Each structure stands twice: as structure tokens, then as C-alpha cells.
Structure 1
């Protein structure tokens, strides 16, 4: 075989390999989800050189009563893959819009057991288990899929302010700010996305990023 023909054949064989490596690298970089809520920066020494790594917050354990009266824990929500967390107050128009958008998330992942949803009440003095049961029914919450959670004010304060870092007015959950925010929490209890829960566009992004996260689980 002539040298020129050998070179052409080599290039033909090399192109698919280069294309595969390019697409693999592009896909990894393009679709890697960020991690939110940094805790601190650790410095470690590798081969005589100091490297700085950001340590991200992990959502702490909690156990709160749901609309069924049964207590639901952080471990139960995260053990299958991921969950979507939100904060709401019955009777407020913003929360009506938020939960209407979350209905779309539930419907899209209705048959995906690794996706769960947790909506925390920010008005525990009003939102008893009985009230949450009616509210869950109003929005078609599927048992074991979408949990409406309440509890005492101290416990809800801890979840909202310390774990999800929502600012509170006068230390009260009923006055929490930015509570239209929705959080995507992965199986390692880290926040991988923050969204405006009243925005259709933002919830579309949430659903896309849920699919990305599930894909990474399938291809670890």
C-alpha cells in the first residue's frame, strides 16, 4: 500500500475516535450540574502542593409529619435518588402558582420512583396535618411521591433557615423570604439546583436538570 493511501486510511480510522472523545468531553462539561450552598474551603497537600477544595453543605437530617400523619425523614426522601424541596403557605397566591407548577413536575416523573417531592409549610400555626391533607388532595399529590410537611415552628425554622438557608423575618417561618424558591437535592443531600417555582421557564429547567441528574446516576 502506498504511503499516501496509508495516511488517508489512518485518518479515516482516526476520525470516529476523535469524534467520540470530543463528544464525550463536550457532554461531560456541558451537562455537569453545579453544586450550591458552599460551607467552607479545605486546603489539602497533594504532591507537595496545596490545593483548595470547596466543601458544599449537605442537608441535615429532619423528621416531620406529612399530610397522611406519618412522619417523613430526610433519609426517606433522598434514599432513592433525589427530591425537589419547596416552601409554601396556604392561602397565598404565590404558593398557589408554585404548587400548580410543581404538579407538572409530579406528572412528568409520575413513573420514576427515584424522584420525590417535599413541600414544607411556612405557617405551622395554620397548616395542620388535616389542612395539608386537603391541600395535597387539591393538587393531586400522589401518596409516597409528593409529601406536604409541617411541624413545630422550631423544626421548620431549622429546615428553612439552617438547611436551605432561606432568610427569615423576625425569626419566624411564616415570614420567610424567597420561599417561592425550589431546590433540587441529590442522593448525597447536596443542593444541585435552585429555581423560581412560580416561573414556567424555571420549572422547565428544573425538569431538564432532574433528567440530567438521573442520567449521571445511570452512567456512574
Structure 2
């Protein structure tokens, strides 16, 4: 056999081997979700070398009344895996677009008990339990899956600005902060994703990253 033919034959035989090694290497990679809201940086000494580690914020616990009339805590929301959080204001132009997009999330994970949703109303003076119930009915919220929550002004303001770090309203004395942002919170109460809740593309990314987070839970 001529040297050239030998070289060609060798390359032909080598291609499947290289393809297999590539696919095997690709298949072992994992897409890791980032963590948001850093608190501070700790320095620790390991074998004589100082290492810096970022410590990320954990959402503080809360307990607020939901559309059913009973109080719901963060521990319940994240108990099985994760929850999706948002803050809405009914007079905002983005209110309907936000909750319409969240309906897609609920439908996608309708049969996944590890995924729950929490929508916080920032109108505590007008959004009674009856009003929350109407919102839940309007958007087809499944009982035990999607919670519409409210509370007193002080608690909601602390939750929005100190825990989820939304920008305080210009006139904090009369208005609570609201945003079109949607947050993905893991079982350790850390924010693993922040999205534009009015964008179909962003909500698609949210749903993909929920699946990624659930996958990491299954393969810990």
C-alpha cells in the first residue's frame, strides 16, 4: 500500500476515535449556575496560602399571608427545591405582562413539586386576601404551587430592599419598590438567577436554568 493511501486510511480510522473522545469529554461537562447578591469576601489560610472566598447573601426568612388566607413562609416555598419570586404592582403597565409570563413557568413545571412560585403584592393597603384570591384566579394559580402574598408595609419593604435588594422607591414614605425582575431562589435561599419578567426570551432562560438547578439536585 502506498504511503499516501496508508495516511488517508489512518486518518479515516482516527476520526471516529477523536469524535468519541470529544463527545465523552463534552458529556461530562456541567453548566453551573452563578450565584448572585454577594455579601462579603472571606479570607482563609489553606496550607500556608491565603484564599479569598465570596460569601453570597441568603434571603432572610419571611412569613406572609397568601391568597388562601393562611401564612406562607420561605421555608415552605423552598422546602422541596426552589422558588421563583417576583414583586408586582397592579397599577404598573408591566403587571399583566409579568404575570402572563409567569403563567408559562407554572405550566412548564405543573407536575414538578420541587418548583414553587411567590408573587409579592406591594399594595398592602388595598390588596386584601380577597384581592389576592382574585389575582390568583385571574392567572390560574394552582393551589400549593403559585402563591400570591402580601403583608404590612414594613415587612414588604424590608423583603424587597434588604433581602432581594431592589432599589428603594424615590418616595419610600408612600411607595414600596416594585420591579419587573424575577428571581430564582435555591433551597439554600440564595439567588441563582435574575431575569426580566416581561421578556419571553428571559423567561425561557429562567425555565432552562430551573431545569439545570433541578438536575444538580438530582446528581449531588
Shift of 1:125: 1.0
Partner of 2:4: none
Larger helix fraction of residues: 1
Partner of 1:206: 206
Please say which of residues 205-214 and 166-175 is displaced more in the overlay. 166-175
Shift of 1:15: 5.5
Deviations 1:45-95 (A, max 9, x none): 001000000000000100000001110001000110000000001233211
Partner of 1:151: 151
TM-score, scaled relative to structure 2: 0.88
Work out which of the two has the higher radius of gyration on C-alpha atoms and give 1 or 2: 2
Q: Is the 8 A contact 1:78 1:186 kept in 2?
A: yes
Q: Is the 8 A contact 1:90 1:127 kept in 2?
A: no
Distance 2:56 2:21 in 1: 35
Correspondence 1:53-92 to 2 at 5 A = 53-92=53-92
Q: Does 1:174 align with 2:175?
A: yes
Shift of 1:21: 5.4
Distance 1:195 1:12 in 2: 42
Q: Is the 8 A contact 1:186 1:192 kept in 2?
A: yes
Partner of 2:215: 215
State the superposition RMSD in angstroms. Answer: 2.1
Q: Does 1:23 align with 2:26?
A: yes
Unaligned runs of 5+ residues in structure 2 are 1-13
Distance 1:172 1:213 in 2: 38
How many residues are aligned here? 208
Distance 1:90 1:48 in 2: 56
Q: Is the 8 A contact 1:41 1:53 kept in 2?
A: yes
The secondary structure found in structure 1 opposite 2:198 is coil
